[in-house]
Amino acid sequence: MSSSHHHSDQHRRLVLKALLWLTLFGGVCFSAINIMRENWILAVLELSYSFISLYCLLVINRSENLRTLTIIYLVPFFTLMMVILFQPRTSFSVFAWIQTIPIIFYLLLGLRLGLWGSLLFIGIGLFAFSQRFTSDNQVTNILILANLGAAALSVTLFSHIYERSRLRNEQRLTELATTDSLTGLANRMRLADVFEREINHAKRNRTPLALVFLDIDHFKLINDRYGHKAGDKALCHFAQLLSGRLRSGDLFCRLGGEEFAVLLPNTSAEQAATIAHSLCERLAATPLELEGRPLPMTLSAGVASFGEDGELLDELMQVADRRTYSAKRTGRNRVVTEDGHEQPLAAT
């Protein structure tokens, strides 16, 4: 699960819990009131829904599909509300609950379902009001209904604007938190998020998954000789150049400094080695233009494979990192796929 989705899910889980507790106690109280008023139908409905709320409270923490649980709870909840609105023995004050419909829908179900759910149940609520409230003055009837409808639709509009703004801000913050500011590549946090998704896919479909570490050779010499601005240009050149050689489903990350990683779904260790070799060749064949002169760059790479070298991200990173440094110790500009099996490029 991605960070943004995880935080949104936790937020909605807390809101749903609060609503469940409210309807649990509210249902018990209102059913008791209706029993005293001998309104047996509403009493039974409200008491039954209290038990539904209690059940949802018991399973909410272990429920993996929060949206389904929310819909299972909300549809009967608002249906019961509409039934109450149509009852001739209920007070007109119950129509104040119409204002809560868009707030609850948007908080728990987001933009699309929030909009359609709000319009549906607000429409039914306004129709119930028009059937129950009548006076001798038709103009007065229209004005009251128009005011109630305008208030409900205003709350819907504000809820829609708020939810859309919240989602955009959340997405923007997530993007900032998971993107390397210099190169624009994904960072370590994003790698961890995507890795969780990809290992679940690999286990479920029994497909390979590989991780490649990339380290720019002699990067410290570039910084020492040309300065940190040149080093930043070298990093950006590296990121932009190699990004174009990867597939759309691959994840290219900057881990920090001159260290990078590529997560390769549906890729065996042999295929990952081939991709790593192509990246080495691409970089060696395209030097950085610095101060009007070409600056040759090379990289060393280490490959780790899910299952063979570990099942956790940290395990694969340790193996790939170790093999990368093995490549650097044995001459650089080469790919290591197994411990003790260095593969220098043919061109070097």
Calculate helix-pair angle for 138-177, 100-132, nearest 10 degrees.
170
Three-state DSSP string of the chain = CCHHHHHHHHHHHHHHHHHHHHHHHHHHHHHHHHHHCCCHHHHHHHHHHHHHHHHHHHHHHHCCCHHHHHHHHHHHHHHHHHHHHHCCCCCHHHHHHHHHHHHHHHHHHHHHHHHHHHHHHHHHHHHHHHHHCCCCCHHHHHHHHHHHHHHHHHHHHHHHHHHHHHHHHHHHHHHHHCECCCCCCECHHHHHHHHHHHHHHHHHHCCCEEEEEEEECCHHHHHHHHCHHHHHHHHHHHHHHHHCCCCCCCEEEEEECCEEEEEEECCCHHHHHHHHHHHHHHHHHCCEEECCEEECCCEEEEEEECCCCCCCHHHHHHHHHHHHHHHHHCCCCEEEEECCEEEECCCC
Does residue 338 carry a catalytic annotation? Answer: no
Instruction: List, in sequence order, every residue forming a beta bridge with 304; answer none if it has no partner.
Output: 211
The C-alpha atoms of residue 286 and residue 237 are separated, in whole angstroms, by: 9
Q: 228-243 vs 219-226: helix axis angle to the nearest 10?
A: 140
Which candidate in 175, 198, 258, 259 is catalytic?
258
List, by residue number, the catalytic residues. Answer: 258
